[in-house]
Amino acid sequence: MRITATLRTAAADQDRRLKARQRALWALGDYHRVATDLLWEFGRELVEACGIYAGQRVLDVAAGTGNVAIRAAERGAQVVASDLTPENFGAGRHEARAHGVNVEWVEADAEALPFDDGEFDVVTSSAGAIFAPHHQAVADQLVRVCRPGGTIGLTTIVPDGLARDLLEIIERYSPPPPPDALSPLLWGSEEHVRELFGDRVESLEMTSTMLLIDRFADPEDLCRFMKANHPLVVGLYEHLADEPARVATLDLDMAEAATRWNRGGPRGPAIYEIEYLVIVARKHDSRQLRDR
């Protein structure tokens, strides 16, 4: 009995340390710049796919600086934006004000959301909750806080492409995660996602969509941008600061991936077609289940 309790406490401590590290990581660099320069279209796309409309209660999980949350609020929804990293809320508040909308910002781990069961009509997360290490816990929380018959919408990274390669490089050079921590890349597998939600959803649609990035002069320009701004890349270079040989191979690996996926010509600009998945699930309406 006492051994089980000790193991549980050790696991909880390990998880707290992991989350503290992840929070510190996502506060590095300039996430808002990454979001607005590269990922801003995802927010519009996800709000459209979920059919969000005025008056709905929407929760955006791992909301970053409000990519989805702000677009949902622009449609007249009442929106809560939650994230592990409140350091980025300042940029989000600023962006929301610039769009003339109100969003409530709440610090929260996607694996332990501080909201009531069924509190929201729509629960979204764009390339966000996939970064929490325990996927089943995340899926359970998204389903729990969504009302019966409500909508859960996610964007995730496909198992092939530049985003996948960059994430794979980041994982390869980072300190090893705890054994029970899963890679965000798994959310690109339809089988994995269906298993996570199981029969708690009555439908689950996964649509592949393309994002075109043509703002970089060449692959080196993309690598420079990522090294200066992307929290996980900034964190990786900080972590390797005393290992110049590994920094050199990391530089080469990033440049190789950025060059391989460039669809632009030799005179530039670099052109990247980033494929991603939009997932829309409808939670079972328990009243309908009872009536069957």
Ligand X SMILES: C[S@@+](CC[C@H](N)C(=O)[O-])C[C@H]1O[C@@H](n2cnc3c(N)ncnc32)[C@H](O)[C@@H]1O
Q: Which is nearer to ligand X, 87 or 218 (CB)?
A: 87
Which of residues 59, 72, 77, 84 is near ligand X by CB under 6 A? 84
> What would the x/- binding string for ligand X be over residues 26 to 65, using CB under 6 A?
x--------x---x--x-------------------xxx-
Q: What are phi and psi of 50, to 5 degrees?
A: -85, -10
- Print burial letters for 189-224: b (CB count within 10 Å at least 16), e (below 16): eeeebeebbeebbeebebeebebebeebebbeebbe
Residue whose beta carbon is closest to ligand X: 64
- 188 makes contact with ligand X (CB under 6 A): no
Measured CA angle at 27 (ends 24, 30), to 5 deg: 150
Q: Yes or no: say if 262 and 270 are a contact pair by the CB < 8 Å rule.
A: yes
Size of the site for ligand X (CB under 6 A): 22
3 state SS for 15-49:
HHHHHHHHHHHHCCCCHHHHHHHHHHHHHHHHHHH
118-177 residues near ligand X, rule: CB under 6 A = 126-128, 131-132
The helix/strand/coil state of 249 is helix
- 83 makes contact with ligand X (CB under 6 A): yes
Which of residues 52, 56, 85, 257 is near ligand X by CB under 6 A? 85
- 22 makes contact with ligand X (CB under 6 A): yes
Q: How far is the CB of 270 from ligand X (least distance, A)?
A: 21
Alpha-carbon 73 to chain mean position: 19
Q: Which is nearer to ligand X, 161 or 264 (CB)?
A: 161
Q: Which is nearer to ligand X, 180 or 243 (CB)?
A: 180
98-117 residues near ligand X, rule: CB under 6 A = 109-111
Q: What contacts 161, CB < 8 A, 6 or more positions away?
A: 261, 274, 275
List contacts with ligand X (CB under 6 A): 19, 22, 26, 35, 39, 42, 62-64, 67, 83-85, 88, 109-111, 126-128, 131-132
